């Protein structure tokens, strides 16, 4: 038994040796050994070169614009065959490095070929242009008459010919009837060039969408694209480790990362920032420091893709850009979510609904109390899953949860946790019993300068918090501001909020018509500065009772917005200083907007309309609010409008599992 076992091992080893010999032979035919080089007079390490080296031409026979680039012929094949070809390519040393999309195209373009037993498929010394994958049968490989190896199904051979013009380095003969799949050099090159060009265009478009690079001239952008390499990292991978030597610069093209940093060698790293598509990192170690100054860790279950640039290219092409050279970091740790033990232990059955605080197409918001401590009340937002799916809001709802759970600001309504069942998603929120600012505004008509300043100040604080974390809000309006029992305003409803990172744009059209910025209407891509536009609109509405741009239907409103703020005649009740700030916030060009300049949101706080405003008092909660709401107890819902009982129950969700995070 032992002998049989050893014979088996020996047979396997023999096969392995044959395969390795064949590979070695192939490599040696392209890269001569040191001894051969010396004989040939070619140069080796540290040796003077005595003869001209032979160039290898790998230039494609194709030029951009060649019609065969646009379309390559494909041949139908079964899934089993496709898998066999794909697998053969992935096991081949030369071809396994191709991109997935290139492999797929090659698989589709290979055509069937058959040879009978004994026929010669490849002849040593011939010029070849075909590469084969063996689907069925056996072949023998010989060189100068000597047997090199046998090959069976699932093997690639002849692949050198598709890389450049070369003579065949060995003979391959069928030793049974064989069925093969083949592709020629021309078709292979068309695939490579096309996918390469597509990638180039894709990278160029992507770079143009990243504000740091968007203004660079196209020539420079193309040079950057030429040196970029795509790298993928899995969830939890450290792309950069603090203290390591760094030689690369990264631009995120897909996914999210966390930046963490330890203050001292013995302390735990804390999260200081989250980055997303379009954000870049790794410039510091390339600017003289050498050492990485923070960790960058993949924070996305689907992994992260980065476009990577090496030190030399960075220095030549990017390092001198002011926005890169002068990038400053405010190393404030990101607060952990509020999902502490108390809320984790609760179930829906622990709450009783007392009243309805709001109703909408999405569902409703109920005032609920904890059964075992009725002094603890919350707002429970109940969203119909079917409605979310029908209106394709799954991503928005997920963003809403992720962002609200992360935010810990006194100017943002807190989310404690979420629940779900077959029909609804539930969000347990801090309740603000002062009611909606919209209701107060409706009842009062408009606010005076000082009240408008106080509420605008609350929003500025909320935006300062969110924007410093790369989060855009996108739905500012009085309906989304709630007053707490003190009378301070807090932002609520984060359905349109999104983490877009810094200096990055997003294209989703969202917001409330009267409040959307012109670049959103024109689909030019928008960034955090769209929130500053809406801040100007809010100021106007708070001081007059209605927004400056308002038509009988959204299209009319959009047309007015596109005509610009200069077309608006400001009523007298808006003070000169307030007018000045509104006009500066509502600039058509986002880069001219106050808040979007070098000093960021501080420019808004320093505007003369805010002269003397007690920002520190606002932050500490020591400032007196303009209106003190009447709230008699933790279950007093009298500051909210009355809403009817719920209509019929929605059907259950589509069970696609999009809601697993809730
Ligand atoms: Br993004 C980012 N934020 C910070 C930060 O607050 N502090 C530090 N030191 N680095 C930060 N980064 C990026 C920056 O690009 O993280 C990278 C770590 O490698 C750093 O460049 P690096 O020192 O080369």
Is 436-620 the same fold as 209-326?
no
Choose from 193-202, 386-395, 417-426, 450-459 the range with maximum mean pLDDT. 450-459
Question: Could you report the per-residue pLDDT of 40-65, keeping only the tens digit for each?
Answer: 333 333 344 445 544 443 444 555 45
Q: How many whole angstroms from 287 Cα to the centroid of ligand 1?
A: 12
Tell me whether strands 489-491 and 481-483 are parallel, antiparallel or unpaired: antiparallel
Q: Does residue 125 have a pLDDT over 70?
A: yes
Looking at beta carbons, which pairs linking 365-368 to residues 24 or more positions away fall under 8 Å? 365/429, 367/431, 367/635, 367/637
pTM beyond 0.85, yes or no: no
- Band (93; pLDDT cuts 50, 70, 90): confident
Which structure tokens are listed for 199? 């990638």
Distance CA 552, CA 568 (A): 17
Span 413-424, average pLDDT:
93
Q: Which atom of ligand 1 is nearest to the CA of 291?
A: 23
% of the chain with per-residue pLDDT over 70: 89
Q: How many whole angstroms from 280 Cα to the centroid of ligand 1?
A: 9
Judge whether 475 counts as a catalytic residue: yes
- Band (24; pLDDT cuts 50, 70, 90): confident
Q: What is the pLDDT of residue 47?
A: 43
CATH for 209-326 (2.40.30.10, 3.40.1190.20, 3.40.190.10, 2.60.120.10): 2.60.120.10
Span 651-659, average pLDDT:
74
Q: Does residue 506 have a pLDDT over 70?
A: yes
User: Atom 10 (ligand 1): residue with closest C-alpha?
Assistant: 294
**Residue 358 is assigned to a ligand binding site:** yes
Q: What is the pLDDT of residue 548?
A: 97
How high is the mean pLDDT of the chain? 86
Q: Does residue 523 have a pLDDT over 80?
A: no
**Residue 361 is assigned to a ligand binding site:** yes
Span 294-320, average pLDDT:
90
**Residue 362 is assigned to a ligand binding site:** yes
**Residue 365 is assigned to a ligand binding site:** yes
Q: Which atom of ligand 1 is nearest to the CA of 285?
A: 24
Q: Which atom of ligand 1 is nearest to the CA of 275?
A: 1
CATH for 67-191 (1.10.1060.10, 3.40.1380.20, 3.40.50.880, 2.60.120.10): 2.60.120.10
Q: How many whole angstroms from 340 Cα to the centroid of ligand 1?
A: 29
Q: Does domain 341-429 have CATH number 3.40.50.970?
A: no
Fold for 436-620, please state it.
Answer: Transferase(Phosphotransferase); domain 1 (1.10.510)
Q: Ligand 1 pocket test: which of 278, 329, 333 has the largest number of ligand atoms within 8 Å of its C-beta?
A: 329
**H helices within 276-424, ranges in order?**
311-313, 322-325, 341-344, 385-390, 394-406
CA angle in degrees (0–180, nearest 5) for 429-392-463: 45
Q: Ligand 1 pocket test: which of 239, 245, 284 has the largest number of ligand atoms within 8 Å of its C-beta?
A: 284
**Residue 447 is assigned to a ligand binding site:** no
Question: Could you report the per-residue pLDDT of 598-621, keeping only the tens digit for each?
Answer: 888 999 999 999 999 999 999 999
Q: Which atom of ligand 1 is nearest to the CA of 249?
A: 24
Span 422-427, average pLDDT:
93
Span 305-326, average pLDDT:
90
Q: How many whole angstroms from 505 Cα to the centroid of ligand 1?
A: 21
Choose from 97-106, 344-353, 451-460 the range with maximum mean pLDDT. 451-460
- Band (38; pLDDT cuts 50, 70, 90): very low
- Band (26; pLDDT cuts 50, 70, 90): low
Question: Catalytic one among 279, 299, 300, 475?
Answer: 475
Per-domain residue ranges of the chain: 67-191, 209-326, 341-429, 436-620
Q: Does residue 411 have a pLDDT over 70?
A: yes
Using CB distances shorter than 6 Å, the residues near ligand 1 are 240, 246, 259, 261, 272-273, 275, 281-285, 292-294, 296, 329, 331
Question: Could you report the per-residue pLDDT of 546-577, keeping only the tens digit for each?
Answer: 999 998 888 888 889 999 999 999 999 999 99
- Burial level of 567, CB count in 10 A (0-12/13-18/19+)? exposed
Q: How many whole angstroms from 327 Cα to the centroid of ligand 1?
A: 10
């Amino acid at each position: 038994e032992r002998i049989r076992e050893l014979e088996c091992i020996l047979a396997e080893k023999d096969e392995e040796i044959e395969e390795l010999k064949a590979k070695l032979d192939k490599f040696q035919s392209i890269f001569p050994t040191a001894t051969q080089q010396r004989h040939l007079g070619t140069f080796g390490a540290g040796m003077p070169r005595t003869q001209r080296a032979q160039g290898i031409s790998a230039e494609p026979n194709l030029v951009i614009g060649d019609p065969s680039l646009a379309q390559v012929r494909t041949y139908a094949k079964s899934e089993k065959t496709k898998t066999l070809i794909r697998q053969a390519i992935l096991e081949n040393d030369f071809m396994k490095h191709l991109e997935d999309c290139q492999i797929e195209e090659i698989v589709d373009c290979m055509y069937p070929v058959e040879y009978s037993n004994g026929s010669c498929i490849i002849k040593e010394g011939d010029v070849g242009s075909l590469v084969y994958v063996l689907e069925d049968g056996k072949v023998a490989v010989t060189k100068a008459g000597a047997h090199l190896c046998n090959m069976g199904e699932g093997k690639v051979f002849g692949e050198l010919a598709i890389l450049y013009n070369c003579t065949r380095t060995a003979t391959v003969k069928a030793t049974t009837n064989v069925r093969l799949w083949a592709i020629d050099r021309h078709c292979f090159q068309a695939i490579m060039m096309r996918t390469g060009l597509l990638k180039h265009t894709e990278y160029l478009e992507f770079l143009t969408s990243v504000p740091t690079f968007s203004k660079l001239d196209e020539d420079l952008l193309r040079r950057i694209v030429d040196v970029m390499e795509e790298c993928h990292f899995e969830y939890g991978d450290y792309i950069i480790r603090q203290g390591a030597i760094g030689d690369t610069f990264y631009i995120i093209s897909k996914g999210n990362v966390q930046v963490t940093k330890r203050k001292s060698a013995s302390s735990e790293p804390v999260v200081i920032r989250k980055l997303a598509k379009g954000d870049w990192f790794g410039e510091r170690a390339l600017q003289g420091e050498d050492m990485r100054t923070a960790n960058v860790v993949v924070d996305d279950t689907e992994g992260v893709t980065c476009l990577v640039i090496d030190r030399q290219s960075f220095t030549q092409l990017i390092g001198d850009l002011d926005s890169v050279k002068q990038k400053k970091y405010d190393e404030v740790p990101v607060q952990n979510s509020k999902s502490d033990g108390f809320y984790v232990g609760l179930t829906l059955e622990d709450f009783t609904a007392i009243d309805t605080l709001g109703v909408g197409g999405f569902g409703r918001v109920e005032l609920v109390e904890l059964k075992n401590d009725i002094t603890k009340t919350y707002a429970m937002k109940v969203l119909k899953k079917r409605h979310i799916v029908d209106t394709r809001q799954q991503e928005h709802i997920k963003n809403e949860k992720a962002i609200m759970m992360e935010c810990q600001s006194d100017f943002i309504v807190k989310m404690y946790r979420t629940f779900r069942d077959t029909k609804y998603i539930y969000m347990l929120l801090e309740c603000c019993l002062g009611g909606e600012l919209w209701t107060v505004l409706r009842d009062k008509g408009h606010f005076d300068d000082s009240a408008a300043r106080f509420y605008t100040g609350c929003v500025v604080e909320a935006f300062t918090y969110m924007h410093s974390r790369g989060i855009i809000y996108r739905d500012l309006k009085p309906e989304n501001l709630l007053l707490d029992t003190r009378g301070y305003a807090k932002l609520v409803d984060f359905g349109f909020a999104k983490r877009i990172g810094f200096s990055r744009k997003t294209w989703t059209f969202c917001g409330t018509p009267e409040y959307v910025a012109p670049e959103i209407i024109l689909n030019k891509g928008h960034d955090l500065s769209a929130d500053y536009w809406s801040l100007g609109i809010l100021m106007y509405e708070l001081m007059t009772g209605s927004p400056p741009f308002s038509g009988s239907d959204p299209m009319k409103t959009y047309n007015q917005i596109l005509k610009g703020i200069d077309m608006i005649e400001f009523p007298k009740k808006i003070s000169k200083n307030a007018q000045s700030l509104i006009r500066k916030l509502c600039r058509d060009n986002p880069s001219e907007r106050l808040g979007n300049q070098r000093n960021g949101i501080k420019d808004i706080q320093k505007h003369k309309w805010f002269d003397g405003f007690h920002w520190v008092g606002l932050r500490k909660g020591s400032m007196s609010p303009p209106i003190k709401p009447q709230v008699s107890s933790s279950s007093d819902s009298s500051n909210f409008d009355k809403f009817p009982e719920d209509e019929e129950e929605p059907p259950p969700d589509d069970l696609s599992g999009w809601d697993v995070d809730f």
